[in-house]
Amino acid sequence: MDGFRIPIGDWVADAVDWVQVNLEWLLDFITMVIKFLVNGLSDVLVDTPWWAVTVVAALLGWMFRSWQLGVGTLLSFTLMAAMGVFTGAMQTLALVLVAAVVAVVISVPLGIWSARSARVRAVVKPILDLMQTMPGMVYLVPAIVFFSIGVVPGLVATVIFALPPGVRLTELGIRGVDGETVEAGEAFGATRGQILRGIQLPLALPTIMAGVNQVIMLSLSMAVIAGMAGADGLGKSVVEAVSTVNTAKGVEAGLGVVIIAVYLDRLSAALGNPSAYRSSLLGILSRRRNDRRRAAAATVAVPA
């Protein structure tokens, strides 16, 4: 097919130029909001003493998962401080948390909409396929064109890259709810909104939380790549280590990424897993409170 070419790349470049010219106000607004959120959270985490952040993270791990995660968090975060990568880890954590929240806010409603509309699902599915198969680094190119160098293009590319699993698993969870249960709600006169809030979302919560877990993991993987766009954090340290062939710096930054990934994975997985919740501090306190209530009820019932 010599001489025949479809200039898709040129069309995309023209669209990017059009957005830059005509939607500059929107790009400036997005830049302002992202910098406020990421830099604000990053400043809080970095300015707080490392031991205080470590203790809070360990308590959260114990509260929502188990005492083993709390102890592991205490030791691993202390190791990051001893290696001197704690500041970069907190910058990466801030970027990941903001990107994950934005991705979840977009993906969960979109997944619900897709589950309840065949037309929306037919449009969204090929777009998600394209987003999942596109190499992550490709998203950095238009993001850098739109937002220049820094944390903003890194976060935008991270959000786009992390969206698909959140949408897919939310849709899967909603569609996987037993149809007879939904019909029972309809028989009692419940509206679509009441059925969604009272039946579908609670039953689909484990699957939705699995999607949230995947969103967080993909956000972390992309946050490292975002270091190429100039985003501060461990990703930037990895890029510098690769460019200077600094093995020690690369290993320490990579180990910091692993620690953050394991912590976020265990914590987010526990939120949607009742069996993991039972071994947490909240689960233990809840069982003790229920035992005291049953004992008090039995004491009152015996004289009667």
The domain limits of the chain are 52-83, 88-173+208-272
CA-to-CA separations, 42 to 39, 190, 228, 244, in angstroms, rounded: 5, 44, 19, 26
> How confident is the model at residue 290, as a pLDDT?
65
**In angstroms, how far apart are the furthest CA atoms of the chain?**
96
CA distance 172 to 247: 43
Q: How many Å apart are CA 259 and CA 261, to the nearest integer?
A: 5
pLDDT at 282: 58
Fold of the domain spanning 88-173+208-272: MetI-like fold (1.10.3720)
Averaged pLDDT, 14-43 = 85
Q: Are 98 and 37 in contact (CB under 8 A)?
A: yes
For residues 35-48, give the mean pLDDT. 89
pLDDT of residue 12: 78
What CA–CA distance (Å, rounded) separates 201 from 181?
12
Between residues 74 and 221, which one has the greater pLDDT?
74
Half-sphere exposure of 78 (CA within 13 A, CB side): 8
Cα distances (Å, whole numbers) of residue 292 to 57, 105, 283, 296, 304: 30, 39, 14, 6, 19
Model confidence at 298, in pLDDT bands (50, 70, 90)? low
User: Which amino acid belongs to residue 126?
Assistant: P
pLDDT of 77 over the 90 cut: yes
Number of alpha carbons in the 13 Å side-chain half-sphere of residue 154: 31
- Say whether pLDDT at 226 is over 70: yes
pLDDT higher than threshold 80 for residue 285: no
- What is the DSSP secondary structure assignment for residue 196, as one 8-state letter? I
Rounded-to-integer distance, Cα 94 and Cα 165, Å? 21
Confirm if 263 and 76 have CB atoms less than 8 A apart: yes
Q: C-alpha 18: how far from its chain's center?
A: 31
The two three-digit tokens of residue 227, written as one number: 């270091």
Q: From the CA atom positions of the chain, what is the Rg in Å?
A: 23
> Alpha carbon of 26 to those of 169, 210, 237: distances in Å?
30, 32, 31
Residue 74: pLDDT over 90: yes
Provide the pLDDT for residue 140. 81
The HSE-up count of residue 191 (CA atoms within 13 Å, CB side) is 2
| Rounded distance between C-alpha atoms, residue 183 and residue 196, angstroms | 12
pLDDT at position 303 over 60: no
Q: How confident is the model at residue 52 (pLDDT cuts 50, 70, 90)?
A: very high
Task: Please report the pLDDT score of residue 55 as a whole number.
Answer: 92
Residue corresponding to tokens 């589950």: 115
- Predicted confidence (pLDDT) per residue in 185-209, tens digit: 878 887 888 888 888 888 888 888 8
